[in-house]
A and B are shown apart, each in its own frame.
Chain A
């Protein structure tokens, strides 16, 4: 089996803000550094499709990225041995060897199943934004933005700037939770400017709290959505429904590496090192905190992985503490209300890969039993979509991870084992 072999002193998985900050600091320390990323370009989901040269918050990071190798379009799917990751791209398998590893795999949206959510043009909130950043035009289209979290506002503002008409922003959190959040926001200087800017961009758009989608209507694609607001249901015709319920961390690789978890996130110490020596973690996998915490954690991880002793009084630690406080505030404000578990009916598909309906799922007692008896979570997404949904709907613990962490071609799987590779070529 032909495969590319490369060795790096510091290898970073994920080219978003945390990964870029980590790589920049390691490069600054004189290390041989690479970032491996699934996407075509660096920036992560937050800066997808953007010219990074124009992003002000990355000005400092950018200066040191010049010497960093960016391995794009490769998804890391397995840990071949300690110090060796396997990544798959269109041209084959890459073997990436490292001395120190930084896991900066980001987050994905949490999706909740409701009748009709599998119709084409029902997308994630970040999902539709990513599609528009990737060339999908929305000028003149009517969009309903729904779910939970600060992402909804950013997405609505972005889509409006691209010419979409936003019919409604439906936030499941209560007005009182949002008011408490707004009051606390004043202690974050940087956030006030952001909030005011958003308010200007969103002027005139209808915003509802205590509000969520109960049904998407359409035959072959979305035609309308029914939204419940304060207990009253109204139907809105639309071209797209952009719906996501805040974020869940991408922890699969960290789990596969053997890193211990804590409350659903990767457990790290003061210098972002996981319970596996030499493996660090930064950004959303250690707590959903957004850009500032990702940049601070990434910088700390990059310095620590390079053997640099960070001064206890460093502003990086202060920045991280502040960002973490904000993360806890987000978690509290946008925690899901219990009645959302009434969203799916018996016929609603929960596992989209295997078309497993809620009626079949709710009879099981555990995630493992559901996987074995219904094939829920056994399709190509490997439970990344239905796992967090099942966790919320049924209270299951969804934590088993097995290689490959992404579906890989048979020849790529063979690359993980020399003997198997030899068998195939005989």
Chain B
């Protein structure tokens, strides 16, 4: 096998981004965000295990401007990954692959992400 660089076809920067592509990239992006969110989940449990004063610190941090920003972003990432994940599971059954269907489900994912995130913060 030669390691000589191969010519590239036109790539990301050339095209107008279709909604399906945006979601595909965001699914991976939110996945990474949620992996780092595991740290907040672990910190929450560790603080409770350590005792009340540590938990109060956690609660305080989560109400600071930066803390609530992190939690809000995390919830948004979660609901997007959740909705798009269901879309992926639906695809895995071999359905919903034609162009119209794929674009419709992409719109549904974005709408449901905003709805879930709003309901969650209004309700909690």
A, B bound: no
